[in-house]
Amino acid sequence: MKNSSPYSKIIAGTMTWGSWGKKLATQEMIALMHFCLEQGITTFDHADIYGGYTNEIDFGNAYSASGIDRDHVQLISKCGIQYVCDARENQIKHYDYSKAYIVWSAEESLRKLKTDYLDIFLLHRPSPLMEPEEIAEAISQLMAEGKIKHFGVSNFTPSQIAMLEKVLRVEANQVEFSLSADEVMYDGTLDDSIAHKRMAMSWSPLGSYFKEENERTQRIKMALKPMNEKYGASDDQLLLAWILKHPVKVYPVVGTTTKSRLSDAIKATELEMALEDWFILLEANQGHKVP
């Protein structure tokens, strides 16, 4: 699958690189960054809250010591979630999209990641109290100052994006999308990305397949079995190939730190799944024929 975008077709998700997962040491992070680049994975996805607001610091320290040219990587981060953890004096999880907080959060991400700009800056989750004009003021300031290149959202519905777009262009939406989490194909989310030429990213692109053992995963496993040999591909590669076939041209955010699985993910972008095989997997997931 040819990719003319400045972002790598597979995006490295960093949520589990630090304290929320593998607790990689600085040298381990450096080695993983270099490995990703060798595979053609040049885009790294962050959020301020990952690791209880510590992941960006750990990644930034590793990146600054890695010798990697900033022009060779793309950095994405998100803001807005006020998380209850040691780093913040929050009584309850909530969202803050005031102009001052958005600007401060972006500048904190830059400081921690040791970079002058973010390639994409996302609002992490929608808040009922969002004020489009105030958000637009913050994003316009950050863009004018060269601190962010592009603006997007994560987990937003088409109507929430339409509200923002009265005053601000939304260039990307990162949502949950996988074979086992296919709601965005039917609720207008992916349609919106296609219609408005938004970059669509998928978090948790393998869905629940490797996390659950139930009738649905058994059906999917049986459907995948003959495809393993047909395509010479593993289950995770076929699950990625399934979402990659969608015309939204999604960018999967792959959260593994296992090198072989990262390599497999890149190889999955070369798979072209047959039309009927795509629907065989859809039926296996949903448990019924398409209407």
Task: Give the per-residue pLDDT at 6.
Answer: 94
Dig out the tokens for 262 from the structure. Answer: 């990262």
Return the pLDDT at 255. 97
Q: How far is it, in rounded angstroms, from Cα 231 to Cα 226? A: 9
Query: Which has the closest alpha carbon to 36: 65, 72, 4, 78?
Result: 72
Catalytic residues: 50
Range list of H helices, the chain: 26-39, 50-53, 55-66, 99-113, 132-144, 158-164, 189-195, 215-231, 235-244, 259-268, 275-286
pTM to 2 decimal places: 0.96
Rounded CA separation 146/171 (Å)? 17
Give me the residue spans of the domains in the chain.
Answer: 11-212+239-271
Distance CA 213, CA 101 (A): 42
Q: Does the domain at residues 11-212+239-271 carry the CATH identifier 3.20.20.100?
A: yes
* pLDDT digit string, tens, across residues 145-181: 999 999 999 999 999 999 999 999 999 999 999 999 9
Residues of the chain scoring pLDDT < 70: 1-4
CB 181 within 8 A of CB 155: no
